[in-house]
Amino acid sequence: MQLRTVIFALGIMTTLLGVAMLPSWLIDIADQREEWPVFAGSAGMLILFGTGLTILAGKRPERTGAREAFLLTVLVWTVLPGLAALPFLGVGMSLTDALFESVSGLTTTGATVITGLDSQSRGILLWRAILQWFGGIGIIVTAIAILPALRVGGMQLFQLESSDMSGKFMPRIEAIASQIGLAYLLVSFACAASYLASGMSLFDAVAHSMTTVSAGGYSTHDASFGAFIGSPAIFAAIFFMVIAGLPFSLIALTMFHGRWQNLVKDPQVRLYLALWITLSLAILVWHELSVDPPVFRQVQDGLVLSLFNVISIMTGTGYATAAYDSWGSPVIVIFLVATFLGGCAGSAACGIKMFRLEISFRAVIAHTRQMISPHRVVRIRYAGKVIDNETLQSVMVFVFLYLGTFVIAAILLSLTGLDVLTSISGAATSVSNVGPGLGPVIGPAGTFEPLSDRAKWICATAMLLGRLEFTAVFVLMTRRFWKG
């Protein structure tokens, strides 16, 4: 195994993480906050440590294989949260809370244990936003460049064509990340400008743009996006949350090459938008027909709130404008279903994802037809292509691991003393990297702070497994992987 490549990449990522702390250091100095040495010290340590790793690695090998890519993917998403927790430890958070907050940030889950956000230092608030923005681009590059090459979770369907790239994971990532990264940056700037034009302060606009485009959901206010009710910022948030759930490779093609047809023709994009609108309208119709006294003042207010909160949960952004878990039992079920759905492959969104839902549905239909006509050859097609057995198996393994992890996490959370709704929604929101759960404890009006340390570790582990798409972790647990 070419461990030098893994060490080199970890060194680069650690150094970048240290550099990313500098804006928080500067803003705390500007605000004359006593926390500024925390960011200065943390940034210095990470930059020195990261630089040391790159020097230790020496010259990076040009060719690397799947084993190195598996190991690197898992290490990046497990080591970096530990390093990113240093500023949280520095301001007095416990080890469990600091790690929970950093894992939730980098995986763009958005579940938080911090209360009193309105009185927190801007350095800490900015660091939370930077973590999610940093994690968002990492998620997109992982989903577009690494997981397809590793044939994880059916992502090989989205393998980008490239000549002479076999086995060269690092050059491949660099080539893809440059254009995707530029698109991600431009969308972030556009989001910040939209928020600023909508009346947000410059700080709020920048922080919320980073947590919107990354589908993260950390806010600078305890009321989350409810602090901006009645502002045009709500409409900007809806638009950019929808963007966050779209494939960024297709967004880049649209932005830089004018190939918008690819985005329009993608079946997962159509399913994504259709499910969002259908679930939102279902909430609105049920409310108008059944809820008395009404929660929504007017139909148009209900439509905006439904569209906002459904897309927020579907993409895993996790912003909340209201305690939607108080809108009635049918609405709770709709939001629980939305927690599992996710966005498109290659997006910043979470969950099972649209293409897996469609392939699973088509597999059920094909199996039914096969049972009726045993001698008939039934092919499963997606986007005009025949799905081979390897891809179908990969999708089914992912779905099984996803649901299995959810069930185990829910059982473990219930054993810590949590009620049924909190256990189920806590497991679902962690595995799906959504953020808020349901109920009075971890619902949109609450935080994860009241949970026991054991419950927080269970949720943090589920967040990492969900973000790593499960298979990559289980591959590392096999004896054959380490025997090579």
DSSP result, 373-404: STT-----EETTEEPPHHHHHHHHHHHHHHHH
User: Do the domain assignments include residue 473?
Assistant: no
User: Do the domain assignments include residue 101?
Assistant: yes
User: Do the domain assignments include residue 139?
Assistant: yes
Note the pLDDT of residue 60: 61
Do residues 212 and 238 lie in contact, with contact meaning Cβ atoms separated by under 8 Å?
no
Residues whose CB falls within 8 Å of the CB of residue 187, separated by 6 or more in sequence, listed in order: 213, 240, 243, 251
Largest Cα separation within the chain, whole Å, is 76
Residues whose CB falls within 8 Å of the CB of residue 14, separated by 6 or more in sequence, listed in order: 46, 49, 50, 53, 79, 80, 83
Do residues 195 and 209 lie in contact, with contact meaning Cβ atoms separated by under 8 Å?
yes
- Compute the residue count for the chain: 484
In angstroms and rounded to an integer, the radius of gyration of the C-alpha atoms of the chain is: 22
CA dist., res. 263 & res. 345, Å (int)? 12
User: Do the domain assignments include residue 297?
Assistant: no
CA dist., res. 269 & res. 254, Å (int)? 14
User: Do the domain assignments include residue 379?
Assistant: no
User: Do the domain assignments include residue 284?
Assistant: no
Note the pLDDT of residue 201: 95
User: Do the domain assignments include residue 159?
Assistant: yes
Residues whose CB falls within 8 Å of the CB of residue 418, separated by 6 or more in sequence, listed in order: 426, 441, 451, 455
CA dist., res. 340 & res. 314, Å (int)? 7
Could you list the pLDDT tens digit for every one of the 484 residues in the chain? 677 888 888 999 999 999 999 999 999 999 999 889 999 999 999 999 999 999 988 766 556 677 778 888 888 889 999 999 999 999 999 999 999 999 999 999 999 999 999 999 999 999 999 999 999 998 888 887 777 777 778 887 776 544 333 444 445 566 677 888 899 999 999 999 999 999 999 999 999 999 999 999 999 999 999 999 889 999 999 999 999 999 998 898 888 888 888 888 889 999 999 999 999 999 999 988 887 778 888 888 999 999 999 999 999 999 988 888 888 889 999 999 999 999 998 899 988 999 999 999 999 998 898 888 887 878 888 888 888 888 899 899 999 999 999 999 999 999 999 999 999 999 999 999 998 999 899 999 889 999 999 999 999 999 999 988 887 787 777 777 777 6
Question: What is the span of the domain harbouring residue 115?
Answer: 3-248
Note the pLDDT of residue 385: 85
Do residues 180 and 248 lie in contact, with contact meaning Cβ atoms separated by under 8 Å?
yes
User: Do the domain assignments include residue 262?
Assistant: no
> Domain total for the chain?
1
CA dist., res. 250 & res. 351, Å (int)? 19
CA dist., res. 342 & res. 344, Å (int)? 7
Helix axes 329-341, 267-290, angle to 10 degrees: 170
Q: What is the pLDDT of residues 80-102, one digit of tens each?
A: 999 999 999 999 999 999 999 99
pTM of model > 0.85? yes
